[in-house]
Structure 1
Amino acid sequence: MSEYEIVFGGVAAERGWRDLKATAKNALADAWDYLTVHPTQFDSSRCYQLKGNLATVVVDGKVLPVWQYKVTDGARLRYAVDEPNPKTKKQGRVILLEASPSHPNDTDPSKNFR
């Protein structure tokens, strides 16, 4: 059993996941394995926490950290992590906020004009 379950944060994230499944099935399976075991483990080449105004999001009244996982050179998963609670035996959740077959503009330095 994994320590984290993956849930969709919205219809757009679910649709993006389906699109990625159609175009990058093996890479998405690797992402699933990674996110259900250790979604907050930094990996400079694949997984990292976002910074600045993208670093957190409020889900169900809780402020959660936001991470991004590089599925392919272009495709990204953006997600929030609700940590497990061993005292209450509550499983952790990875809330998928965005699944995109292309690099999101707001984290692409060449397209970010802020």
Structure 2
Amino acid sequence: MTAGRGDRAAPPSPEGQWDVRFADAAAAKGWESLCRQARENTYRAWLTMRTDPRPATETQRQHRLKGTLAHGPYRGHTCEQWQIEVTGGGRLWYLIDTARDTCWITYAGTAHPRATDR
């Protein structure tokens, strides 16, 4: 997704931090919805992905997804998939691409994702 006029400018990641990017247009659209609904929490989630996308100790708000959702494909290789609970229902899912030091946001939304309702 290429930025255009009126789009928010994202700072480059400093040394030792992860880049955060959208895996697709749907994730970018969901991100904007999360920003409108919970600006501060979404910002904190972005900081978490930048600085500690794979914490040593998982929490209820940030943890690796389980089962078939624990991994996801991106650009020809498989990555771990994690979740951050932004609000009571709002979630971010992201793939950890260690080859590129990048977190790819695969899902962002204000509602709880149906894929985990099993």
- TM-score tier by shorter-chain length is 0.7 to 0.9
Q: Percent identity?
A: 30
1:92 partnered with 2:106: no
Distance 1:11 1:106 in 2: 19
Distance 1:103 1:43 in 2: 19
Q: Deviations over 1:49-88 (max 9, x none)?
A: 111111111111111010011001110001100125xxxx
1:39 partnered with 2:53: yes
Task: Flag as ranges the 4+ runs of structure 1 deviating above 4 A.
Answer: none
Structure 2 gaps of 5+ residues are 1-13
Matches within 5 A, 1:1-114: 1=14, 3-41=17-55, 42-83=57-98, 92-108=101-117, 112=118
Amino acid of the structure 2 residue aligned with 1:81 = I
Q: Secondary structure at the match of 2:73?
A: strand
Q: Secondary structure at the match of 1:69?
A: strand
RMSD of aligned Cα (Å): 1.3
> TM-score scaled to structure 1, two decimals?
0.84
> TM-score scaled to structure 2, two decimals?
0.82
Structure 1 gaps of 5+ residues are 85-90
